A and B are shown apart, each in its own frame.
Chain A
Amino acid sequence: MKELVQSTYRYRELIWALALKELKLRYKRSVLGFLWALLNPALMMVVLTVVFSTIMRFGIPHYAIFLLSVLLPWTFFSQSLGYAVDSIVGNGELIKKVSVPKLVFPVAAVVSNSVNLLLSLIPMALLVLAMHHPFYATWLYLPIPMLALVLFTLGMTCFFAAANVFYRDVAHILQVVLSAWFYFTPIIYALDFVPPHMQWLFKLNPLIYVINGFRLAIYYGQLPRWQSIAASFVCGLTALIIGCAIFRKYENEFVFYV
């Protein structure tokens, strides 16, 4: 854990360069280039807004905002994992030739997706204004759930990136896990929709607390209770400590399996 902080700090320039490389490559040779980082979530928002305000109507006012306030952090989480799971194997040729701390690869994947998450808040804000939804001061609280989410995501990416080195099935399993996880997390619905006797089961989901922080701040204009904030950080740190420990335990073996 201490080593994670140290090596992240020591190699911050390398991590940033790798993250920037990933972003550059993602938009390379597209006419609009980096604008896609903004356009992509913006267009997705337009589609969802149109669908949910005309075709499928729930009894939730401004459903698009209700949905997107948690869909953005979820997208960050699932995309980070999707990129990072392959970050060690994908850089295998490099790892076999250059002595470099392996941790920088999953960290860089998370960093590059964090940039995307931050950028996607701009179209989110525009949507809030366009739909005449109140623009709450609780937006200022967002860095807190973001931090907890990044910690949790880092822990998960370390675990999956390491596991994928030894068994390439992990990348495929991850896809299934993520899609199941999506539906079992109150993203398209609220936790209140779940029958009361089932709610305890949903509360075991470590993502629910941090995700809820986003929705409360953007959609409801409320702050979560302190227990919920604490739970989100406990989950984040636990994931990070376990993920990091597993990664460090096996990182010297990676070179033989990539």
Chain B
Amino acid sequence: MNLSSMFDRTGLSRNIAVRLENVTQRFRVIQERPDTLRELFAKFLRHESSYHDFDAIRNLSLAVPSGQMLGLIGRNGSGKSTLLKLVAGVYRPTAGRVSVEGSLAPLIELGAGFHHELTGRENILLNGLLMGYSKDVMKAREQSIIDFADIGEFIDAPIKQYSSGMHTRLAFAVATEVDPDILLVDEILAVGDSAFQQKCFTRIEQFRRAGKTILFVSHNMIQVTDHCDRAVLIDKGSLIADGVPAEVVSLYKSLSMPELTSAE
């Protein structure tokens, strides 16, 4: 296991699926946002600047070889989700370059494209189109999505009538039933009942065995150590450790323990 992950990390054997080169993502944190022109003029007249810049990702470089399952760990607000959104193309980096080789399935915020007035079936199509798949592809996969999500006859009801579990199951099914090359997983396995969590994890494992690249954000250290080939620790937007999951996890634990205890 360790040997194979060492081998993966060199990146020589395989293509690089996801590459970040000196990436910085800057956010403008606006304390009191001039939402209206009047406020803008008022601010302008008083020569006030009511924002400061904040780097969610700071000069970060990372290469993920194809077929690797990479665990991203770090405290809340360390930049993990921003990193995934950069890879997903939601943000354009302020500086640096992000390149992605292959098709993406972002499981970042499940069901982001769902509209609650539309039926499950209509949402499957709309969500698939939003992710860039064609109508034919979505129609062909529709039945297997419905089967995996285990929605039953509710599939033709507007999804505002769904329980939150059904909502998540459908979203997970839509995102993973489309055979992506790269899977971005952000903390989503914390939802749903344990049977469904298990089902999701089985599917992620299947992806891993099929040689897909997976970027996996989790606060569940057991999942990271057990399933990932490699782990990186992110803090304040920078990469501070990169290596074998067990080692990175124990480093993270030793770093964050004082915080945890003081928080409690």
B125 touches A17 (CB 8 A): yes
Q: Which of B76-121 contact A (CB under 8 A)?
A: 85, 88-92, 106, 108-109, 112-113, 115, 117-118
Given contacts A21-B115, A99-B88, contact A168 B36 (CB under 8 A): yes
Interface check B129, CB cutoff 8 A: yes
| A97, B108: Cβ atoms closer than 8 Å | yes
Residues on A with beta carbons closer than 8 Å to the beta carbon of B35: 167-168
Which of B57-65, B130-138, B192-200, B215-223 forms contacts with chain A?
B130-138
User: How many Å lie between the Cα of A256 and that of B89 in the bound state?
Assistant: 14
List CB contacts (< 8 Å) of A4-20 with chain B: 11, 13-14, 17-18
The answer to whether A169 and B130 have CB atoms under 8 Å apart is no
Is B28 an interface residue, CB under 8 A from the partner? yes
Partner of B91, one of A11, A93, A169, A255: A255
Count, chain A residues at interface, CB 8 A? 23
Residues of B within 8 A of A (CB-CB), count: 30
Instruction: Indicate which residue in A17, A21, A99 contacts B90 across the interface (CB closer than 8 Å).
Output: A99
Contact of B27 among A94, A167, A256 (CB under 8 A): A256
Question: B36 is contacted by which of A18, A97, A100, A169 (Cβ under 8 Å)?
Answer: A169
CA–CA, A128 and B79, complex, Å? 64
A14 to B135, CA, bound (A): 9
**Counting CB contacts under 8 A, is A203 at the interface?**
no
Chain A, 99-137, CB within 8 A of any chain B CB: 99-100
Q: Is A97 within 8 A of B112, CB to CB?
A: yes
Considering the complex, give the chain B residue whose CB is closest to the CB of A167.
Answer: B37
Docked complex: A72-99 residues within 8 A CB-CB of B: 93-99
Within 8 Å CB of A256, what residues of B? 27-28
| Cβ of B151 under 8 Å from chain A | no
B40 within 8 A of A: yes
Query: What are 26 A-B pairs at a CB distance below 8 A?
Result: A13-B129, A13-B134, A14-B129, A14-B130, A17-B126, A18-B126, A21-B122, A24-B117, A24-B122, A25-B115, A25-B117, A93-B112, A94-B130, A95-B90, A96-B90, A97-B90, A97-B113, A98-B88, A98-B112, A98-B130, A98-B131, A100-B132, A168-B35, A168-B36, A169-B37, A256-B28
Q: Which positions in B face A, CB cutoff 8 Å? A: 27-28, 35-38, 40, 85, 88-92, 106, 108-109, 112-113, 115, 117-118, 122, 125-126, 129-132, 134-135
| With A98-B88, A169-B37, A169-B38 already in contact, 19 other A-B pairs whose C-beta atoms are closer than 8 Å | A11-B129, A13-B135, A18-B126, A21-B118, A24-B117, A24-B118, A24-B122, A25-B118, A28-B117, A93-B112, A97-B109, A98-B131, A100-B132, A167-B37, A167-B40, A168-B35, A169-B36, A255-B90, A256-B27
